């Protein structure tokens, strides 16, 4: 189901051409890494945690009742809500495990801690923003300041975390 959500397999779990998203957050992370003197090639290795909490997209589809994402059925609409929640939670754990593996690759403990904190803060902000997003659905009007607060805790928090995580990537030369 996780591979399906990524676009790597179809509903029958057979390989298919991936239909990726915009990849703006991973790109921002790599650009911030380079701007801070880090090595974007190291930061883009597959075992590096994504700065795009994809688990949240599975949860968002459930919460919004969205049957489609990027023209394909959502995980919950194929396998049901309980399995989709489980897949989303699994993707969250995989991201956290990837953060823990940074130390195995020689990333200093302080940097691992800061990157993990940035990821966790972004995930919490995302949950707060999603709470307000869902609460707006039953209302006839939403004030501009409420809407801006909500997107600051969803879209903007993820963009900020991407840049922050890239900034803390190990430098190419000793600091």
Q: 2-167, which class in CATH?
A: mainly alpha
Q: Return the closest-CA partner of residue 164 out of 108, 107, 118, 113.
A: 118
Torsion sign across C-alpha atoms 31, 46, 68, 155: negative
Which residues are 9's β-sheet partners? 15
Over residues 12-22, the pLDDT tens digits come to 999 998 666 66
The band of 83, judged by pLDDT with boundaries at 50, 70 and 90, is very high
In this predicted structure, what is the pLDDT of residue 20?
A: 62
Question: Are residues 11 and 68 in contact, defined by beta-carbon separation less than 8 angstroms?
Answer: no
> What gap in Å lies between CA 103 and CA 91, rounded to an integer?
20
Residue with tokens 């130390």: 103
Mean pLDDT of the chain: 84
Q: What is the mean pLDDT of residues 11-35?
A: 80
Is 0.85 surpassed by the pTM of this model?
A: no
Q: Which two tokens stand for residue 1?
A: 């189901």
The band of 53, judged by pLDDT with boundaries at 50, 70 and 90, is low
Q: Which two tokens stand for residue 160?
A: 């900020």
The band of 47, judged by pLDDT with boundaries at 50, 70 and 90, is very low
Over residues 96-146, the pLDDT tens digits come to 888 888 888 777 888 888 888 988 999 999 999 999 999 999 899 999 999
Percent of the chain, pLDDT > 90? 43
pLDDT above 80: residue 51: no
pLDDT above 90: residue 4: yes
Q: What is the mean pLDDT of residues 3-24?
A: 83
> What gap in Å lies between CA 165 and CA 68, rounded to an integer?
30
The band of 23, judged by pLDDT with boundaries at 50, 70 and 90, is confident
């Amino acid at each position: 189901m996780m591979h399906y959500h990524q676009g790597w397999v179809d509903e029958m779990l057979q390989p298919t051409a991936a239909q990726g998203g915009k990849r703006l957050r991973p790109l921002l992370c790599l650009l911030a890494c380079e701007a801070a003197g880090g090595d974007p090639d190291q930061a883009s290795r597959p075992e590096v945690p994504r700065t795009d909490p994809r688990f949240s997209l599975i949860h968002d589809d459930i919460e919004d009742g969205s049957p489609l994402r990027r023209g394909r059925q959502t995980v919950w609409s194929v396998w049901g809500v309980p399995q989709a929640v489980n897949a989303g939670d699994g993707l969250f754990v995989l991201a956290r495990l990837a953060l823990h593996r940074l130390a195995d690759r020689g990333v200093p403990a302080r940097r691992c801690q800061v990157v993990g904190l940035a990821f966790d803060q972004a995930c919490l902000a995302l949950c707060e923003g999603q709470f307000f997003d869902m609460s707006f659905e039953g209302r006839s009007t939403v004030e501009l300041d409420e809407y801006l607060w909500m997107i600051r805790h969803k879209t903007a928090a993820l963009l900020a975390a991407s840049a922050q995580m890239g900034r803390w990537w190990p430098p190419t030369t000793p600091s």
